[in-house]
Amino acid sequence: MSGFHKIIFKNTSMFAVSQLIGIGARLICNKVAAVLIGPAGIGVLGLIDNILRLIHGVTNFGIASSSVREIALLDNEKEQSNEKSGRLIKIVYKWAIFTGVLGVMGLVLFSKQVSLVVFQTDTKYLWVIGLSSYFLFNSISSIRLAVLQAKKKVKKIVLYNIFSTVISAVISIVAYYIYGIDGIIPAIVISTISNFLLSIYFTKSIAVSEVKIAANQVFKEGLPIAKLGLLLSTSAVFGQLCFYIIRWYLIEYHSYEILGVYQVGNTFLVGYIGLVFAAMSNDFYPRLCNFEEDKEQFDALVNDQTELALLVVVPAILVLYVMAPYLIPILYSNEFLDVLLILKIGLISVVLKAIAWPIGFIALIKGNKALFLKQNLLSNSVNVIGSLIGFYYFGLLGLGIAMVVMFLVYGVYTYVTVVRYYNFKYRKDTLHIMLASLLLCLLVLSVFLVYEFKGFNLVLAVIASFSMLYSFFKLRHRLIK
């Protein structure tokens, strides 16, 4: 048994605190949004978010993600690591401004087209131009947060996340209350400026080189990071493009109300439960970089992270199954009850993600750009194809099925490739936890063959209780060793 469980659990617990506060703030914000702007407004919000992420993916070169790896690796060097790290941080800060300006120019250039897509009219292009400032402020804050992650400044990241989420929620609620749907863009812009100021504050103690660096040197020394980042960016852009296709299809052939239901489904699967992975990745990714050359420790950390992910995610999913029929009307409104059709099968995809997610980092950290890109292109392709076909034949239920198929295909492909290229192996203990988790998922699916997913289900409650006890004793056993 490796010794990473305590470290992972401690740091994940710290991040979990911020994520729980974040969930609370989002729950309140989403409830207010559901009442004040309704399903159509939430659909518009999801579409704007999708477009912003798409343009950001094209223009940011993935600098934030790739810089985490490079700065974390530099910190492993004993000699002159501080000097090299400070210089690299200064370079990525300058790249952040450059990529942010590119994003501004991109949205301004296509402002009328974006206005037409989002608002069904090009007359609101000035609103879209105002929204372009998002890219500059977001680019800078993203890079600075990446530096904190690479430096493993856990407490500062936690505090940033707490303040960022709470302030953004307050800003959004006020904007929706005063302006309704028209408050969406002002809320995004003001929240982004707030996050920018917070990132400046929390990174002010990070050492940055005082040596003047010429523009051509900034470009030359930052180019390797940009090349790796471009790969991550390509993957992110393709993913957002796939999500855009799904959203476009729902609007074109159905309605904004259906899009709003889909958006809420994604919020549950990615925004709420997905926060578990966000909490873990803040520590897991840079820590795994530290063991790139130590295969035994590297594999042990991946195994430990997989175990912890499953022991946390599976009971959370099962509890959500029990509570979802009551949470949807409370958190949103009765208009969103159709979300249950997505969650009925879709929640299982999060368990599959908990298995596939840790091994998905291996190719990236090992520097195998082509393999990492293939993994992500495959998963997103399966998602968009599965969603369109699934929705056509099964409606909202088909969207949940598509998510399960996506992570199943992605997980199998990723596992086969990391075994082939890096001789990665799961421990027996990890395999046992994976098997138990998958059996619980199959048991839940079998319950739905008999019962409807509408109200309280005693069988699901019993399964959830068993899962919580199982996770408690497994975690206790690992943490006291």
Q: Parse the chain into domains and list their residue ranges.
A: 18-240, 254-481
* pLDDT of amino acid 219: 83
Question: What single-letter amino acid sits at 318?
Answer: L
Whether the per-residue pLDDT at 137 is higher than 90: the answer is yes
DSSP three-state, residue 110: coil
3-state SS class at 313:
helix
Model confidence pLDDT, tens digit, residues 316-332: 888 888 888 888 887 77
End-to-end CA distance of the chain: 9
Backbone angles phi, psi at 116, to 5 degrees: -65, -40
Distance CA 283, CA 265 (A): 27
Q: What is the DSSP string of 279-302?
A: HHHHHHHHHHHTTTT-HHHHHHHH
Position 332 scores a pLDDT of 75
Higher pLDDT, 449 or 280: 449
In residues, how long is the chain? 481
- Looking at residues 239-260, what average pLDDT do you find? 80
- Residue 400: count other Cβ atoms within 10 Å of its Cβ: 25
What pTM value is reported for the model?
0.72
